Amino acid sequence: MHHFNFRKNNLYCENFKVSDLAKKFQTPLYIYSAKTIEDHFLKLKKAFSEIDPLICYSVKANSNLSILKLLVSKGAGLDIVSGGELYRAKKVKCPAKRIVYASVGKSDNEIRSAIDYGILMFNVESIAELKRIDRIAAVLGKEIEVALRFNPDILASTHKYITTGKKENKFGLDEEAIKKVFLKEALYPNLKINGIHVHIGSQITESTPFIKTIKKVRALMNYLKTRGIKIRYLNIGGGLGIIYDKERPQTAGEFASKVLPLLKDLPLKVILEPGRFIVGNAGILVTQVLYIKDAVSKKFIIVDAAMNDLIRPSLYGAYHNILPLALNKSGRKSLKAADIVGPICESGDFLGRTER
């Protein structure tokens, strides 16, 4: 976390003393570093400047309006997955043509609202969804751009709950289904089917799965080209990993150096959908100790934040570093083994455990 550090044994976020913010706003409290968010976005933009992509921040990573407003002001678009996220995009005045809409479960009302706002395109996950968007577009008298989400059946080395590019996952269409849609585009007279979208998972720390995926996409596009079908947009999704503990993820520059050779000769617009990479290490959750409980088998530190404030440890068994707001006089953290738990009446309500 580039703009969180200790000064004179006190934790700061940029130039703000975290303990002062906790006193002013009370706990539990989320604190975000605008400089970190901006830095991460600009690093990605610089790394891919050779092809000038549309970088659509993935709103599901953190939908805080101030974060969205900051990124939109820096030129980012938004990747949304719900009507609520479209509402937030409108609130921060994101230009409609910088919005792409994913999700396997778009409702009629959500589709209508997105069409009315004039978004750039839908990322379509199924034939049924394609038919529904075509039908609604016809009623509204609009011609809508869509990208088909390609499931490349590639395993990304990440947690099984956040891998999305295998054939057994609920996401996207297989290669043969995509070919059939493009070859029978006349069945959807109200749609411009001119994009391919891929997203193979999240918290991916190596480039190999991305390279394999883009190569598969290129082979698919080469086939379509022989049939006279031109692709205007290629959305390569997001998924870049960050450091939580001992991970060694690739930097934006390293990632770009691996995939740009596969992209820069393509006569189309590339779209990226980073989320975690931009905000994952840009914020902290501040919580207050309520009680210290010495049980028979272990020590519990009971705090006022809970699994509803930070669900990843409970949901994935994920690791998050836990620090005091102030160090002792020697400048060291006073460490004792304990479970950090919240006040919710669930045994799964923990932020950190001595046994992982």
Q: Which residues of 322-339 are buried (b: 16+ CB within 10 A; e: fewer)?
A: eeebebeeeeeeeeeebb
Cite the active site residues. 345
Q: Are residues 94 and 190 in the same domain?
A: yes
Q: Are residues 267 and 173 in the same domain?
A: yes
Q: Are residues 23 and 46 in the same domain?
A: no
Mean pLDDT by 10 residues, the chain (356 residues): 88 97 98 97 97 98 97 98 98 98 95 98 96 98 97 65 52 91 97 95 84 94 96 94 85 95 96 96 97 91 96 90 84 73 94 82
CA distances for 19 relative to 25, 101, 208, 291, angstroms: 10, 39, 42, 19
Q: Which residues of 63-89 are buried (b: 16+ CB within 10 A; e: fewer)?
A: beeebbebbbeeebbbbbbbbebbebb
Residue from 185, 184, 189, 183 nearest 225 by CA: 183
Q: What is the pTM of this model?
A: 0.91
User: What is the distance between the alpha carbons of residues 328 and 345, in angstroms, rounded to a whole number?
Assistant: 33
Q: Are residues 205 and 76 in the same domain?
A: yes
State which of 279, 304, 335 marks the end of a domain. Answer: 279
User: Strands 10-13, 4-7: parallel, antiparallel or unpaired by DSSP?
Assistant: antiparallel
State which of 279, 298, 332 marks the end of a domain. Answer: 279
User: What is the distance between the alpha carbons of residues 250 and 240, in angstroms, rounded to a whole number?
Assistant: 8
347: CATH: 2.40.37.10
Give how many domains the chain has, as a whole number. Answer: 2
Return the pLDDT at 333. Answer: 54
Q: Are residues 147 and 206 in the same domain?
A: yes
Q: Are residues 201 and 328 in the same domain?
A: no
Residue 121: give the domain boundaries.
34-279
Q: Are residues 274 and 307 in the same domain?
A: no
Return the pLDDT at 157. Answer: 55
Q: Are residues 161 and 57 in the same domain?
A: yes
Q: Are residues 87 and 133 in the same domain?
A: yes
Collect all residues with Cβ–Cβ distance below 8 Å to 297 and sequence separation of at least 6: none
Sheet holding 339-341, edge to edge: 289-294, 299-303, 339-341, 350-352
217: CATH: 3.20.20.10
Q: Are residues 271 and 123 in the same domain?
A: yes
Q: Are residues 102 and 251 in the same domain?
A: yes
Q: Are residues 21 and 56 in the same domain?
A: no
Return the pLDDT at 166. Answer: 45
State which of 279, 298, 322 marks the end of a domain. Answer: 279
